[in-house]
Amino acid sequence: MQQSFKSLIPTLRRFAYSLTGSTADADDLVQTTMERILDKGIPAEIEITKWAFKVCRNVWIDEYRARKTRLAAVEKPELQQIHNVEDESQRESKEKLKQVHLAMDNLPSDQRSILSMVALQGMSYKDVSSILKIPVGTVMSRLSRARTTLLDKVNTQQLGDQI
């Protein structure tokens, strides 16, 4: 079981980062998730990855409700990588990534978590449906709204930058 936990941590950490938007908060979330899994155990006949994602999401929701300012650390300058010499394409790529990150931060949590599971983690709609205990159609609908909203926000930010 320890070996499967070791291999699960990077995937769970990426998911936690997509929820929190902060490396430090993601690490804390993964640690709390692992503690909870170890304390309570894994139900029989449940895939560990699905169970870990479900526990992680539930822990995050609990903490988010208690502390609604979880994303404040993202804007700290010491967390941003700054390079002295960048070519134009690198700057544009970083700006685009920043726009997408800001747009992701503004998505409702249910849309952000589904978008993260499907687009970033490569999970199937069925797996996401199983983890979140919602119908596959709801997953598809929320994913569609998340993608549309994300695209609109990124395009709006680009227009605002040009004006």
For the chain, 163 residues long, give each residue's pLDDT as a single digit of tens: 444 778 888 999 999 988 888 889 899 999 999 999 888 888 888 888 888 899 999 898 887 766 655 445 445 555 555 444 456 667 777 777 787 778 888 888 888 889 888 888 888 999 999 988 999 999 999 999 998 988 888 777 655 554 4
**What sign has the CA pseudo-torsion 15, 19, 20, 25?**
negative
For residue 159, give both structure tokens. Answer: 């227009």
Note the CATH architecture for domain 85-163: Orthogonal Bundle (1.10)
- Please answer whether residues 103 and 154 qualify as being in contact, where contact means their C-beta atoms are separated by less than 8 angstroms: yes
pTM: 0.50
Residues 6 or more apart in contact with residue 145 via CB below 8 angstroms: 111
Separation between Cα atoms, residue 33 and residue 40, nearest integer Å: 11
Ranges for all domains in the chain classified under CATH 1.10.1740: 1-80
Q: Which residue has the tokens 């926000």?
A: 153
CATH of the structural domain 1-80, one choice from 1.10.10, 3.40.30, 1.10.1740, 3.40.1710? 1.10.1740
Ranges for all domains in the chain classified under CATH 1.10.10.10: 85-163
Which of 8, 22, 10, 12 lies closest to 53, judged by CA? 12
DSSP string, 70-134: GGGGGG-GGGS---SS--HHHHHHHHHHHHHHHHHHTS-HHHHHHHIIIIIT---HHHHHHHHTS
pLDDT of amino acid 67: 64
